[in-house]
């Protein structure tokens, strides 16, 4: 069983961005491949140092985009947010695993003209 997280922005590859790399960027993007049915969670490290107040307000914003029909079998949802990571829970039903990328996650820091 293995879940592979491949970061797309602001770094590319299997290693999460450092706090310095995440600083100044408003988003971390990553692709998630859930290769076995039993893979239940994935942690995506964003290293944005989100404040406790912003966490309490529901930040960072997390969007999950399907990239494969298996996305609908995995039934992903955001389980938790921390200062430097988000945890996504994945369904473990039969046929939910696939070596291809199933989900693209975008994690956005709280930022707007009003915030």
Q: What are phi and psi of 2, to 5 degrees?
A: -160, 140
For residue 16, the SS3 value is coil
Task: Give, as one character, the DSSP assignment of residue 70.
Answer: T
What is the reported pTM?
0.90
Domain boundaries, the chain: 3-108
Summarised one tens digit per residue, pLDDT across range 51-106 is 999 999 999 999 999 999 888 888 899 999 999 999 999 988 888 888 899 999 99
The residue whose two tokens read 């988000």 is 86
Residue 16 has pLDDT above 70, yes or no: yes
Per-residue burial over 85-111, b = 16 or more CB atoms within 10 Å of its CB, e = otherwise: bbebebbbeeebbbeebbbbbbbbbbe
Q: Which two tokens stand for residue 46?
A: 């964003």
């Amino acid at each position: 069983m293995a879940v592979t997280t491949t970061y797309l922005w602001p770094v590319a590859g299997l290693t999460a961005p450092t706090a310095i790399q995440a600083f100044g960027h408003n988003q971390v993007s990553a692709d998630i491949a859930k290769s076995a049915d039993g893979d239940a969670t994935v942690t995506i490290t964003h290293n944005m140092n989100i404040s406790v107040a912003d966490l309490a307000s529901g930040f960072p914003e997390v969007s999950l985009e399907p990239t494969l029909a298996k996305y609908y079998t995995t039934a992903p949802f955001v389980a938790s947010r921390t200062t430097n990571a988000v945890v996504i829970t994945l369904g473990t039903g039969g046929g939910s695993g696939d070596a291809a990328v199933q989900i693209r996650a975008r994690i956005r820091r709280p930022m707007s003209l009003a915030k």
